[in-house]
Amino acid sequence: MPEEGPGGEVPGGRGGLREPLRPRRGGRRRVSRSLTLAAIGAGILVIASIIVSAWPGGSGLGPPGGPSPDATTAAAFTGVYRIGALGDADPGGGRDTVLARSVTRALADHGGEGATGSVAAPPLGVADLTAYKESAEPGNRRLVARWLAVEPGLTGVVGGDHTLRLPASGLTSFRLPVVRACRHDGAGSRPEPRYADTGELRSSASTGDMGVVMARHLAATPGVRKVYVHGDTAADPTRALVARLRTAGVEVRADGTGTLADGIGRFRPDAVFLEGGARHLAKWLEEVEDSGFDGVKAMWDPTAPSCTGRNAAADPDFSVPDGWLTVRGHYDIRLDPDAARRAAVRRTLGADLAVRPYAVETYDAARALLSAWDTVSAEDRSSDEPDMARAALAEALPTVPVRGALGGRWKRLSGAEAHPVVWLDRRVDGKWRQEAEKRR
């Protein structure tokens, strides 16, 4: 499938795209870089030891209530590099295993494909970081250093938990490269920081991206000149939708209070868009249906998954009447009309993972990190200074060509972040049916 651009077939650049790290200059002297990175690595280990020893109870990185290494047992680099898998928090108290399994599958499939043979030598593995998070700590300033204290060979992370905020500036002199594979709630409502400053890239649509795609669809629908928006008008997808509709010349009335029937009767819109919790939304859907409104009906689904873990807002009793549109931020093999692609995804991920939300996105994000790993020189990979391999991987990550599970959905992470894929679904005969596949 060719890679589309925003609203079309060929992606273009975007002014707000985070800048990749500058490539290393070939003239830099190897000895000088080695000495510099050795000093940096020594400083990191000292800082990490201080942090670990200062942690309550003298514990290092470990799940609550479990044994953890202290400053005297912090791990030393053994020559094994690892890709971190940071799963979503499971509201039921369990651990999300889908993300780590997808990353592990990507590593298994990648073996032997690298032109440099990098997967085989030195060893490369997966580190499940799902239980090792400090989501409650403001800024998470100690998080990356604590990860490296236990996994000094950590080269990059596939991150899923959208609630986790990595530090804007850590205690290390470099940024650990992170690919956000799941929906990022909150992105899109403000300027995105640059990759050079944060070390983070997104490979999936944010809530703001999804609002923009829905707005573009409504604005392009024949006869839609007025849209009535009801519900949480401060939410990121609604704000993005309203802003894009107005930019397209569509008249919008956003109303967070009052009855829908009155609002529709006064404004006489061509389309309505609803956003709210499942309980409120169920009532609003019924009100719109009872009002006799026969225009375009669209909604934000609060029960939709945001990552590989279980959605805390999921409600088995929530249902949507036929005819309504919604927007989706992850690939769903059950809704894909392309039989050949469905078969390819099943072959790649296996029958179980293929049907899990965001499993494909996680797999492709891991393949991007592994493709970047293939560009790391044998000298950097064989060094006893993991900072060198980490820095080289981070430099290559935004633009390295990627072979993903969806076969051309995006070819580079920079393109995935600039123009993430979003799907539009319509309710038909009590089930969702995929209506369109768009790019931001």
Please give the order of strands across the beta sheet that includes 325-328.
251-255, 226-231, 271-275, 296-299, 325-328, 421-428, 431-439
User: Tokens 């499993």 label which residue?
Assistant: 359
**What pLDDT is recorded for position 8?**
40
Kindly give the pairing relationship between strand 421-428 and strand 431-439: antiparallel
Residue 340: Cβ within 10 Å count: 10
Please give the residue range of the domain that contains residue 82: 30-205+343-421
- Tens of pLDDT, residues 158-197: 987 666 666 554 434 456 788 888 887 754 445 555 665 5
Query: Does residue 194 share a domain with residue 65?
Result: yes
**What pLDDT is recorded for position 425?**
97
Query: Does residue 194 share a domain with residue 116?
Result: yes
Query: Does residue 379 share a domain with residue 323?
Result: no
| 9 in any annotated domain | no
* Structure tokens given for 389: 């391999």
How many distinct structural domains can be found in the chain? 2
- Tens of pLDDT, residues 88-141: 655 555 567 888 999 999 999 887 443 344 444 457 889 988 777 655 555 555
| C-beta separation of 171 from 145 below 8 A | yes
**What pLDDT is recorded for position 104?**
93
CA-to-CA dists, residue 142 to 25, 88, 162, 169, 355, angstroms: 31, 20, 18, 10, 35
Residue 95: Cβ within 10 Å count: 15
Below-50 pLDDT ranges, the chain: 1-42, 44-73, 112-121, 169-173, 187-189
Query: Does residue 154 share a domain with residue 195?
Result: yes
- CATH number of the domain encompassing residue 237: 3.40.50.2300
**What pLDDT is recorded for position 290?**
93
**What pLDDT is recorded for position 20?**
37
| C-beta separation of 238 from 300 below 8 A | yes
**What pLDDT is recorded for position 312?**
66
Phi and psi angles of residue 334, each rounded to the nearest 5 degrees, phi first: -75, -20
